[in-house]
Amino acid sequence: MEKPKHHVFVCGSFRVAGDPKGICHRKDSGALVGYLETEVSDRGLDGVTVSAAGCLKLCEHGPVVVVYPEGHWYGKMDEERIDQMLDALEEGKPAEALLLA
Ligand code: FES
């Protein structure tokens, strides 16, 4: 198995019982997973894996996305902001204006 170069986690608001509850889910973060996967494929970004995650504990900033191993945390994500994030990722840098910290 080849490890991803970048692993993008999208908050799916999953709680311990597995139910999606929370701001990210209510703001349709599930659709962002599909959008990201399509964009990664369309852009031919090798080594980028997209996964839905449990609550990332920054709910008030939802939908939250984090990119590892860089540790870039993004908030209030939508398709336009994901495009900006991926543009920056392709350039090997964070989308500074979108970073939570
Ligand atoms: S529900 Fe997304 S960070 Fe908590």
pTM of the model: 0.93
* Domain assignment of residue 80, yes or no: yes
* Domain assignment of residue 63, yes or no: yes
* Domain assignment of residue 85, yes or no: yes
Helices (H), the chain: 23-26, 29-43, 79-90
* Domain assignment of residue 1, yes or no: no
Q: Give the count of domains, the chain.
A: 1
Domain encompassing residue 72: 6-98
State whether the beta carbon of 22 lies less than 6 angstroms from ligand 1: yes
Residue 12 to residues 1, 3, 81, 98, Cα–Cα distance (Å): 25, 22, 17, 19
The answer to whether residues 63 and 10 touch, using CB atoms and an 8 Å cutoff, is yes
State whether the beta carbon of 56 lies less than 6 angstroms from ligand 1: yes
- Tens of pLDDT, residue by residue over 39-96, are 999 999 999 999 999 999 999 999 999 999 999 999 999 999 999 999 999 999 999 9
* Domain assignment of residue 19, yes or no: yes
Question: Which DSSP category does 57 fall into?
Answer: S
Residue 57: CATH number of its domain: 3.40.30.10
State whether the beta carbon of 62 lies less than 6 angstroms from ligand 1: yes
* Domain assignment of residue 64, yes or no: yes
- List the one residue out of 67, 91, 95 whose CA is nearest residue 81: 95
